[in-house]
Amino acid sequence: MGLAAATAPWVTSATDAAAGGTATQGRAAQGTATQAAGAQPDGPGIAELAHQMVVGRISAVELTRYYLERIERIDRRGPGLRAVIEVNPDAMREARRLDAERRTRGVRGPLHGLPMLMKDLFDTADRMHTTAGSLALEGGRPKVDSAVAAKLRAAGAVLLGKTNLSEWAGGISITHHPGWSARGGQTRNPYKLDRSPSESSSGTAVAAAANLCVAGIGTETNGSIVDPAAANSVVGVKPTVGLISRAGMIQGVPSQDSVGPIARTVRDAAIVLGTLVGVDERDPATKASRGHLHLDYTQFLDDDGLRGARIGVPREVYFGYSSHADEITEQAIEVMRKAGATIVDPADIPTAQQLEDTETSIVVQAYEAKRAINRYLSTTPGDHPRSLPELIAFNREHADRELLYVRQDGLEAIQALDFSDAEYRAALATNHRLSRTEGIDAVLRQHRLDALVMPTSAPPGKIDLINGDNYLGGSSTPAALAGYPAINVPAGFAFGLPVGITFIGTAWSEPVLLRLAHAYEQKSQARRTPTYRPADIGL
């Protein structure tokens, strides 16, 4: 079996016991998963694993074998998380090659030999599929790596596989079915198996939480990184649009789409972020990142980074939909205050309600999504639908699997709505005005703030494949429409269900947000390992 789980140096006994799959083990692990202050609840992070490789304690082959076996034991069997939609059939070969390269040529980068998972939206020029969770794209065969896959390979990462998601990044249906796709089935929350994994990067967040990889890559249009990160008690970084190239990715709304890391700690997320940034001629949005990007974001991490910071609390809209999220966020704010931060409360975003109500978001989403889907389908080699109308027809023909739980009213609405270029440009300008100059930037400027903080979302509700999951509220819209950065950090638990907080800032403020998020993480020590509680009548 390779390295035994009980002796693997990167796994705690609490994590491994909880992952065994029985109700008794799950409940027992819940009590033991709370770690002492300062402990690492999931074992060593990226830097420590890299050091263990340097000193020869572990190899890429051993680590990759361990994760592949863990995916089989926990994701496919056991609790049956269904976070991984596909494993790379060449993962072990890549690991052997990287071990040999380490011996003969040295280390490529900070991720050399470390297994990573990526959302099933990124092209990989290998034997893996790129499908957005859709059966229609199983015949697609990208000939070139996406920019993200190329960056990971260049940094020496082992591409372990791809993660499940809400099909077409949630765009297939207007009804809320987070973590479900026809190809991957339903992803389940590792803290309680009948709870929602939340939003389209759910597979990546669940995989990171359950230690099925060192870290993973997600994408966000509006909430698809930060919300599942919150629901699964991990760190999720949604960068400024343009910091990371989207070339070779199945995009939804390019003016809002971000690529970002999901990891168990802020430090690990910062390391991954630095490997992904860069100007790419294939993605014109990245030109704006010149002069703003950093190859090493760990330089901004400071355990005392909250001292002297000015943090605003936007209460209008972003509080009040969940008493549990509110209570945990109030506790988090008190941690920040005690750590030396100046809390400005309230510091409301002037346009908060307008951002939630504006119909210009529908114009932008429909206009961009139709063109993005058609562009990808028409240019990707392979036997698959070549346009959005053909995709809709395919789904109807395979309704017994593709439309088992969801309608494709989302795709049909995108196809039916037809806005002119002028209407689109006006709507996009309105979105940017309300979210940037009259929104986030206005409140930051008024109160001289470094960032804003608010609950990310409510504790995850139950999975409901028939009616769609219940969604109470969230805080992702301002940063989404602005294209600005946001970071979710675990903040606590309500009845064993995770709750996170989100820091947001102005464009290119990732260094500031990472500093604040890391300092809060170190002070709060809020994350726990998953408990894998089974479904029951009550909680």
List, by residue number, the catalytic residues.
Answer: 119, 200, 224
- Give the C-alpha distances (Å, rounded to integers) separating 210 from 65, 192, 234: 16, 12, 10
> Is the separation of the CB atoms in 485 and 504 below 8 Å?
yes
Tokens matching residue 108? 């490529």
CB-based contacts of 255, cutoff 8 Å, min separation 6: 241, 364, 368, 428, 431, 483
> Is the separation of the CB atoms in 120 and 164 below 8 Å?
yes
SS3 category, 4: coil
User: In the chain, helix, strand, coil percent, each to 5?
Assistant: 40, 15, 45
Tokens matching residue 361? 């978001």
Helices (H), ranges, 122-221: 147-154, 202-209
Nearest to 83 by CA among 260, 231, 275: 231
- Give the C-alpha distances (Å, rounded to integers) separating 303 from 413, 452, 522: 48, 19, 6
> Is the separation of the CB atoms in 389 and 141 below 8 Å?
no
Nearest to 538 by CA among 499, 498, 500, 496: 496
Nearest to 183 by CA among 82, 85, 250: 85
Strands (E), 73-126: 84-87, 115-119
Using omega within 30 degrees of 0 as the cis cutoff, is the peptide bond preceding 455 cis? no
Instruction: For 445-472, give the secondary structure using H, E and C.
Output: HHHCCCEEEEECECCCCECCCCCCCCCC
Q: Which residues pair with 31 in a beta bridge?
A: none
* Cβ neighbours of 418 (radius 10 Å): 9
- Give the whole-angstrom CA distance, residue 25 versus residue 18: 5
Instruction: For 245-272, give the secondary structure using H, E and C.
Output: CCCCECCCCCCCCEEEEEECCHHHHHHH
Q: Which residues pair with 415 in a beta bridge?
A: none
- Give the C-alpha distances (Å, rounded to integers) separating 487 from 228, 240, 262, 507, 514: 12, 11, 10, 13, 8
